[in-house]
Structure 1
Amino acid sequence: MKSSPTRIVILTASYGEGHVQTSRALRQSFGKAGIEQVKIIDLMKEAHPLLNKISTKLYMKSTAASQFGFDYYGWSYYITRHAKPNNVWNRFYNRLGIKRLKQLIQQEQPDAVISTFPFGAAPLLCKSLNIPSFTVITDFSLHSRWLHPDIDKYYVATEELKTEMVTCGIAAQRIQVSGIPLREQFGRHALEDAPNKLSESFHKLDPDRKTVLLMAGAYGLKVINKMIRSLLSMQECQLVVVCGKNEKLERRLKTKYANEPFLRIFGFVDNIHELMLISSCMITKAGGITLSEALVLQVPCFIFKPFAGQEKENALYLAKKRIAAISNSTDELAVQLRHFFSKEKFASQIKQRIELIQKESAADFIVKDLIHTIRQLAHL
Structure 2
Amino acid sequence: MSEAAHPGARPGHESRRILIVSASMGAGHDTVALELARRARDRGHEAHIVDVLGLLPHGLGTGLRRGYRSSVRHFPWAYAALHRVLLRRGTGRRPSGVPLARLAGDRLAELAARTGADVVVPVFHLGAQLTGHLRSLGRLRMPSVVFLIDFAVHRQWLHPGNDRYLCLTDEAAAEVRQDITTPAEVTGPVVAPEFLAPGPTAALWARQFDRLAPGLPPVLLSAGAWGTGTRLPATARLLAGHGYLPVVLCGRNERLQGSLTAVPGALALGWVADMAGLMHAAGALVDNAAGQTAVQALAAGLPVVGYRPLPGHGAEGVRRMAALGIADLAADETDLLASLDRLTTVGPDRRCRVAHGRSLFKGDVLTRLEELLDVTVG
Instruction: Give the TM-score taking structure 1 as reference length.
Output: 0.84
Deviation for aligned residue 1:201: 5.3
Residues 77, 88 of structure 1: alpha-carbon distance in 2 compared, 3 angstrom cutoff: closer
* Aligned pairs for 1:98-137 within 5 A: 98-118=105-125, 119=127, 120-126=129-135, 127-137=138-148
> Any unmatched runs of 5+ in structure 1?
none
Residues 292, 324 of structure 1: alpha-carbon distance in 2 compared, 3 angstrom cutoff: same
Whether the aligned pair in 2 keeps the contact of 1:5 and 1:371 (CA below 8 Å) is no
Residues 104, 355 of structure 1: alpha-carbon distance in 2 compared, 3 angstrom cutoff: same
Q: What residue is the counterpart of 2:57 in the other structure?
A: 48
d(CA) in 2 for partners of 1:287, 1:212? 17
> What is the percentage of aligned positions where both structures have the same residue?
23
Whether the aligned pair in 2 keeps the contact of 1:5 and 1:112 (CA below 8 Å) is no
Q: What residue is the counterpart of 1:227 in the other structure?
A: 235
d(CA) in 2 for partners of 1:214, 1:203? 18
Q: Identify, as 1 or 2, the structure richer in helix.
A: 1
Residues 148, 339 of structure 1: alpha-carbon distance in 2 compared, 3 angstrom cutoff: closer
Whether the aligned pair in 2 keeps the contact of 1:25 and 1:184 (CA below 8 Å) is no
Larger RCO (CA under 8 A, 6+ residues apart): 1
Deviation for aligned residue 1:122: 1.5
* Aligned pairs for 1:128-277 within 5 A: 128-171=139-182, 174-186=183-195, 188-190=196-198, 198-200=205-207, 204-206=211-213, 208-216=215-223, 217-219=227-229, 223-235=231-243, 237-254=244-261, 256-257=262-263, 260=264, 262-277=265-280
Whether the aligned pair in 2 keeps the contact of 1:323 and 1:350 (CA below 8 Å) is no
The 4+ residue runs of structure 1 with deviation greater than 4 A are 83-88, 192-198, 342-347, 359-362
* Aligned pairs for 1:66-105 within 5 A: 66-67=75-76, 71-80=77-86, 81-82=88-89, 89-105=96-112
Deviation for aligned residue 1:334: 4.7
Whether the aligned pair in 1 keeps the contact of 2:15 and 2:44 (CA below 8 Å) is no
Q: What residue is the counterpart of 2:356 in the other structure?
A: 356
Residues 7, 337 of structure 1: alpha-carbon distance in 2 compared, 3 angstrom cutoff: same
Deviation for aligned residue 1:107: 2.1
> Any unmatched runs of 5+ in structure 2?
4-13
Deviation for aligned residue 1:124: 3.4
* Cα offsets for 1:35-60 (capped at 9, x unmatched): 1x211101221232511111111100
Whether the aligned pair in 2 keeps the contact of 1:113 and 1:134 (CA below 8 Å) is yes
Residues 155, 350 of structure 1: alpha-carbon distance in 2 compared, 3 angstrom cutoff: farther
d(CA) in 1 for partners of 2:180, 2:339? 43
Q: What residue is the counterpart of 1:60 in the other structure?
A: 69
**3-state SS of 1:274 partner:** helix
RMSD between superposed Cα atoms in Å: 2.9
d(CA) in 2 for partners of 1:129, 1:197? 49
d(CA) in 2 for partners of 1:198, 1:357? 23
Deviation for aligned residue 1:147: 1.6
Residues 165, 346 of structure 1: alpha-carbon distance in 2 compared, 3 angstrom cutoff: farther
Report the more deviating stretch, 80-89 or 157-166: 80-89
**3-state SS of 1:96 partner:** helix
Q: How many residues align?
A: 360
Deviation for aligned residue 1:157: 0.7
**3-state SS of 1:151 partner:** coil
**3-state SS of 2:185 partner:** strand
Deviation for aligned residue 1:93: 3.8
d(CA) in 2 for partners of 1:365, 1:179? 7
**3-state SS of 2:371 partner:** helix
Residues 152, 189 of structure 1: alpha-carbon distance in 2 compared, 3 angstrom cutoff: same
d(CA) in 2 for partners of 1:2, 1:268? 42
Q: What residue is the counterpart of 1:341 in the other structure?
A: 341
Deviation for aligned residue 1:132: 1.4
Whether the aligned pair in 2 keeps the contact of 1:136 and 1:154 (CA below 8 Å) is yes
Report the more deviating stretch, 347-356 or 176-185: 347-356
Whether the aligned pair in 2 keeps the contact of 1:212 and 1:240 (CA below 8 Å) is yes
